[in-house]
Amino acid sequence: MNARRLVLFLAFSMAWQWLWSTFLSFFGIFPNWLLVWTVLLALWRGPLAGECMGFCFGMVLDFLSPAFFGLNALALTGVGYGAGRLHRQMDIDPLGNQVALTGIVSLVFYVFWYFLQVLLWGKPLGGGWRLFLVLPVYNASVAPVAFWILTRFLSGKR
C-alpha cells in the first residue's frame, strides 16, 4: 500500500458513503461502508492499518456531524484495533468469514455506539431497533463487494 493509493481510497470511500446515504438508502437505512472497510482492512492488513483507517474515517464522520464530535473517531479506531487483532487468527479470503466477521463487529459497534450515547446524553439519539437488527445484516451483506473494492484499490490489481 502506498500513501497515494491510501489517500485516494479515503476520498473514494467518503464519496461512496455519501452517495449511498443520500441517494441509495432504503427507508433511511444504508450500509455503513466506512465501518465495513475499516473491519476488512484491519483483518487484511492488521491492527495498525485498521486503527489508522478507522481514525481517518471517524474524523471525516465527526466533521460531517459535529454533535458527536470525537465519538466516531473513537469508535472506529476501536473497531479497527479489535478487528485487526484477529488478523493472524482469521483467514479473510473465504466469503463466509468476511460476512460473519463484518456482521459481528457491526453489531458490537452499534451496541458500543448506543451505550456511548446513553452515557454522554442520557438517552439514545436515534436509530432504535434497526441499528441492532438491520444494519449489521446489511453491512455483512455488502462485505464481499467491499472487500473486492478494497483489495483492487489498495493492492493495485486490475
Supply the CATH number for residue 108's domain: 1.10.1760
Structural domain boundaries enclosing 12:
3-17+30-155
Written as nine digits, the cell of 108 is 458490537
> Which pLDDT score, from 0 to 100, does residue 95 have?
83
Q: Would you tell me how many other CB atoms lie within 10 Å of the CB of residue 68?
A: 20
118 or 1, greater pLDDT: 118
Helix (H, G, I), strand (E, B) or coil at 123: coil
The CA distance from 120 to 113, in Å, is 11
Helix (H, G, I), strand (E, B) or coil at 29: strand
Written as nine digits, the cell of 123 is 438517552
What is the chain's Cα-based Rg? 15
Number of domains in the chain: 1
Would you give the DSSP letter of residue 89? T
Helix (H, G, I), strand (E, B) or coil at 24: coil
**25 domain-assigned:** no
**110 domain-assigned:** yes
If pLDDT is split at 50, 70 and 90, which confidence band does 34 have?
A: very high
One-letter amino acid of 63: F
**22 domain-assigned:** no
> Which pLDDT score, from 0 to 100, does residue 57 have?
93
